[in-house]
Amino acid sequence: MNANKKKWIWPAIGAILLLIYPLVITLPFPRHLMIMIFLYATLGLAWNMIGGYAGQISLGHAVYFGTGAYTSTLLLMKLGVSPWAGMLAGGILSIGLAFIIGYPCFKLAGHYFAIATIAIGEIAQHWMLNWDWAGAAVGLTLPILPESLINLEFHTTKVPYYYIAFGIFALSIMVTYWIDRSKLGYYFKAIKGDLLAARSLGIDVARYKFYALALSAFFTSICGSFYAQYILFIDPDSVFPLMLSIIVCLVATLGGVGTVWGPVIGAFILIPISEFTRIQFGGGGKGTDLIIYGFLIMVISIYQPFGVIGITKRFRKKESE
């Protein structure tokens, strides 16, 4: 019981600090930075469900992100549907897409699955670039509506965005925590560990891979809808790029795959680097953050294949010994 309480102290302190943060820090950039960290941490957590726990390396997650962004935006622009309903609709559509994509792709193993997801991501981006009704290459500028929670648009302050992003982030942590402790998590890890052994123990591999991808796609899609409402402009290059899929994978891998806190740590390391280099070098330094990412990944994969969280585990093990 005591150990149980102890385990919750740090997340609780973290949550309180994050809740106070926008009240203490009033400059827009630090607030924006935290929103991006929440967004990418959620994307990392979502990717972690299929890529980390179930071991199916997807490099096409931009498909679900873009689906979320475009679904809520198009519903809002063409039919006047609330972005919240659009967010949910995007999530459900992404689960449908996950089924269509997963059905053939899950027959592929290892690298072949990753390559197939890249291909699907590229197809989706090119489709959107040429689809006139959905804005094609020009993209969509969201209508400016009065500030309100229902419209999910705020023009004078970032604080409401901050708390909404925090809420989505907290929800994805809770879901990940639940997966980690439940039958789903054990089955995902078993599928990652050994397919034949998993089947021999009664696991319907295809079904559980789909569950992992569906959960992952749902959360990725929600992030997409949030992003559209936050930036108020989307185009295929900003919500469907391959780079987004790769960064999401990096966030989880750097922090530590198959763990609850790994992707969170990854986002807290990577996103500040990305945002600061963007400011430092402006347009001329495009890609500097990626060079740093690449370097970090090399260091991690050579010295600590379990990610940053692997280092903390190693220390903890020494303590207990």
Partner 1 sequence: MALLEVQQLSKRFGGLVANDRIDLQVNEGEIVGLIGPNGAGKTTLFNCIAGFYPPSEGTVRFKGENITGFPANEICLLGIARTFQIVRIFKDMTVLENVMVGAFNRTNLAARAKTKALEVLDFCGLAPKKSMLAGGLTIADKKRLEFAKALATEPTLLMLDEAMAGLNPAETVEAIELVRKVRESGITLLLVEHVMEVVMPISNRVVVLDYGKKIAEDVPEKVINNEEVIKAYLGEKYHASRRAH
- Please report, as residue ranges, which positions from 162 to 181 form the binding site for partner 1 (by CB under 8 A): 181
Residue 203 interacts with partner 1 (CB under 8 A): yes or no: yes
Residue 194 interacts with partner 1 (CB under 8 A): yes or no: yes
Rounded-to-integer distance, Cα 36 and Cα 177, Å: 22
Q: Which residues contact 301 (CB under 8 A, 6 or more apart)?
A: none
CB-based burial label for 282 (10 Å; 0-12, 13-18, 19+): exposed
Q: Least distance from C-beta 257 to partner 1, angstroms?
A: 11
Q: Least distance from C-beta 285 to partner 1, angstroms?
A: 39
Q: Closest CB to partner 1 among 20 and 174? A: 174
User: Are 306 and 256 in contact, with CB atoms under 8 Å apart?
Assistant: yes
Q: Least distance from C-beta 258 to partner 1, angstroms?
A: 8
Among 196, 282, 318, 319, binds partner 1 (CB under 8 A): 196
Q: Which stretch binds partner 1 (CB under 8 A): 31-39, 169-177, 196-204, 279-287?
A: 196-204
Q: Least distance from C-beta 319 to partner 1, angstroms?
A: 15
DSSP code, position 142? P
Q: Least distance from C-beta 201 to partner 1, angstroms?
A: 5
Number of residues interacting with partner 1: please give it, by CB under 8 A: 19
User: Are 222 and 91 in contact, with CB atoms under 8 Å apart?
Assistant: yes
Q: Closest CB to partner 1 among 212 and 270? A: 212
Q: Least distance from C-beta 253 to partner 1, angstroms?
A: 15
Instruction: Say how many Å lie between the first and final Cα of the chain, rounded.
Output: 22
Q: Closest CB to partner 1 among 7 and 183? A: 183
- Give the DSSP letter string of 192-261: HH-HHHHHHTT--HHHHHHHHHHHHHHHHHHHHHHHHHHHSEE-HHHHS-HHHHHHHHHHHHHH-TTSSS
Contacting residues toward partner 1, per CB under 8 A: 181-183, 186-187, 189-190, 193-194, 196-205
